[in-house]
Amino acid sequence: MGRSSNARARLIEIAGQLFQRQGYHASGLNQILGESGAPKGSFYYHFPDGKEQLAEASVRAAGEAVERIIEKAFGRARSFGSGAERFGALLADWFEESGFAAGCPVTSVLLETTPQSAPLLAACRAVFDAWIGHVEVHASRLDEGARARELALGLIMAMEGAWLLARAQRSTAPFRLAARLRPA
Amino acid sequence: MGRSSNARARLIEIAGQLFQRQGYHASGLNQILGESGAPKGSFYYHFPDGKEQLAEASVRAAGEAVERIIEKAFGRARSFGSGAERFGALLADWFEESGFAAGCPVTSVLLETTPQSAPLLAACRAVFDAWIGHVEVHASRLDEGARARELALGLIMAMEGAWLLARAQRSTAPFRLAARLRPA
């Protein structure tokens, strides 16, 4: 990678971290530029449409990061339950490493920009759909096929809710309960 | 109620609606004043510490609104499952009436201000705890006592996650699945 694509990756990384900790609107372009060390010209070279375009890239990158966590959790799982438990533990570790401060990388952007921004709504929705789809593939392999979609949707939903409660309670316990929630 | 407390209630109501739709930071004081019709002097009379204090009042009011929904759902329920189902249906109606646009009244404030603002973190946490406590009381009455706390925590967690997915998918379906999630 040349310097140019490093600058792009760095901008996406810093923006993602700031959105997770303080939300989309509170993370101004000046702070993103300051913390990433990118000059304004470089920013507009990579993101000619501005902060909304950077947020779209950041949501997609966050989506891929969680997809890797899903693969790590379920890749060698022998049951849906053990995969779900590992998924919850990995999210709990990520949250704890942030000092109980970082929320889901997609949620903040979603709540502050939807439905006002069509591109960001589409990006957030695509990321949630991809997570559900990845979990569903593993659920199909590990459980009865007919329940796979509901198991996947239920697990992603529960983890998103757990991330909110974890932040309010400054605790990782919600992730462990979320891993055990199943459709009755 | 005199004019004065009407102005206070109106400020809290408008702030809550704006936070639900566009988040905390995007809802500036000028917009809140403009939409509520309150003069600046009246605002600072009721909320001398400014927007953060208004947000605290708005989080508490939203907490009470959802508590009333919990009571309506579980008050005459004959089983935990039927109460949970009714709770999901009432939240789905609320969301649908907002044109699929309004998120959980507490979540936006939480994600944009925690852990930076200690008073808002405390308010959000107190509201989540109160919801869980209310559901737990009904769960104790309707189910085995030992599971009541987990059932309550799981249901609130699932509904919070459902509200996010409902917003991304512009659908009420997630609330119905959330109502059926139980600890395995």
- Express each pLDDT in B100-155 by its tens digit: 988 888 998 998 898 889 999 999 999 999 999 999 999 999 976 789 999 999 99
Predicted model pTM = 0.93
Residue A4 is predicted with a pLDDT of: 67
Chain B contact set for A170 (CB, 8 A): 115
Residue A31 is predicted with a pLDDT of: 96
Contact call for residues B134 and B71 (beta carbons, < 8 A): yes
Chain A contact set for B25 (CB, 8 A): 23, 25-26, 112
Residue B82 is predicted with a pLDDT of: 96
ipTM attached to this prediction = 0.92
Among chain B residues, CA nearest to A22:
B112
Flag whether pLDDT at A2 surpasses 80: no
Nearest to A19 by CA among A90, A123, A92, A89: A123
Residue A3 is predicted with a pLDDT of: 54
Burial of B1 (0-12, 13-18, 19+ CB in 10 A): exposed
Q: By mean pLDDT, which of A44-48, B92-96, B100-104, B168-172 is the weakest?
A: B100-104
**Ramachandran quadrant class, A100 (left: phi over 0; alpha: psi -120 to 50; beta: rest):** left
Write the single-letter amino acid at B164: L
Among chain A residues, CA nearest to B132:
A165
Give the 3-state secondary structure of residue B182: strand
- State mean pLDDT over A64-76: 96
The proportion of chain A whose per-residue pLDDT surpasses 70, expressed as a percent, equals 97
The proportion of chain A whose per-residue pLDDT surpasses 90, expressed as a percent, equals 85
- CB-CB under 8 Å, A111 with B111: yes
- CB-CB under 8 Å, B24 with A128: no
Instruction: Please tell me the number of Cα atoms within 13 Å of B159 on its side-chain side.
Output: 28
Q: DSSP for B21-35, please give it.
A: HH-STTS-HHHHHHH
**What are the start-end ranges of the E strands in A28-81?**
none
Flag whether pLDDT at A6 surpasses 80: yes
Strands B181-183 and A181-183, bridge-based pairing: antiparallel
Cα-Cα-Cα-Cα torsion A13, A16, A22, A25, nearest 10 degrees, comes to 110
Closest approach of A41 to chain B, Cα-based (Å): 26
